[in-house]
Structure 1
Amino acid sequence: MKRTILTLAALLAAPAAFAQSMEISRHADRPGQVGSAEVFTGTSYVAPVFPPEMGDVSAGEVTFLPGARSAWHTHPAGQMLVVTSGTGWVQERGQEKQIMSAGDVVWCPPDVEHWHGATDATSVTHYAIQQAVDGSAVVWGEHVTDEEYDG
């Protein structure tokens, strides 16, 4: 009986010995950068959300000021946009641009060419979440022209 109690106590204590603690990544502690003019038009700010330890999944908190947008691009495993504030536009190549607003979630399937960004009068912030395939999470194309953006 005594041995059973000791064994049970050891089994119950074992997970605690291997447990890890939660970790909070504070917004102010995740440094971002102004979006590169190579892949963005206008002013955008990109801050990482997930650490590299997440493996093939990456996410960025992206803020576009009015008039700012990404270049045309695709994602080999698709992309999820979770709009957290503001109002913006998203467009699939060959389709009409659509409004995206705070609370909206946009799914762009693998290899579908698209762009996203702010409207001409409002800013927008979203989390962009994507998975890498063979080491690549995005394939960038040409910039969205003013005619395409205004269309």
Structure 2
Amino acid sequence: MANVTFEPGCRNNWHIHHAKSGGGQLLLCMAGAGWYQEEGKEPVSLEPGMVITIPAEVKHWHGAKADSWFSHIAVEVPGEETSNEWCEPVDGEAYDQLGN
């Protein structure tokens, strides 16, 4: 479990939580405003109190909105043969089009 805080505009790279079984991640949104997006899907606006369930093997990213700090508690779901794969950065132009 980790308490993660993003400054405005900060986001992590696309990434995947791999697992043979189980695994994945939970995001418990605590403060501020952020974004979560799975590959091939529309971004989800995040606010305090929301819980995001991320299954294993789903490529995704998360971070703050451009004009807000954002914090979440990231919970790694136990599983067999788990690992994380860090991928490419989120495209800056695509991020800038998300708005606030």
Higher RCO, Cα 8 Å, sep 6+:
2
CA contact (8 A) 2:35 2:62 kept: yes
How many angstroms apart in 2 are the aligned matches of 1:82 and 1:96? Answer: 20
How many angstroms apart in 2 are the aligned matches of 1:111 and 1:102? Answer: 26
Structure 2 match to 1:64: 6
Structure 1 match to 2:30: 84
- Structure 2 residue 89 is matched with structure 1 residue 147: no
Structure 2 match to 1:134: 81
Q: Partner of 2:94: helix, strand, or coil? A: helix
How many angstroms apart in 2 are the aligned matches of 1:133 and 1:141? Answer: 22
1:102-145, Cα deviation, whole Å (9 max, x unpaired): 11000011110000000010111001111364252x21111112
Q: Partner of 2:31: helix, strand, or coil? A: strand
How many residues are paired up?
92
Structure 1: segments with no counterpart, 5+ residues: 1-58
- RMSD of aligned C-alpha atoms? 1.3
Choose 1 or 2 for highest CA Rg: 1
Q: Partner of 1:69: helix, strand, or coil? A: coil
Greater percentage in helix:
1
TM-score, normalised to structure 1, is: 0.57
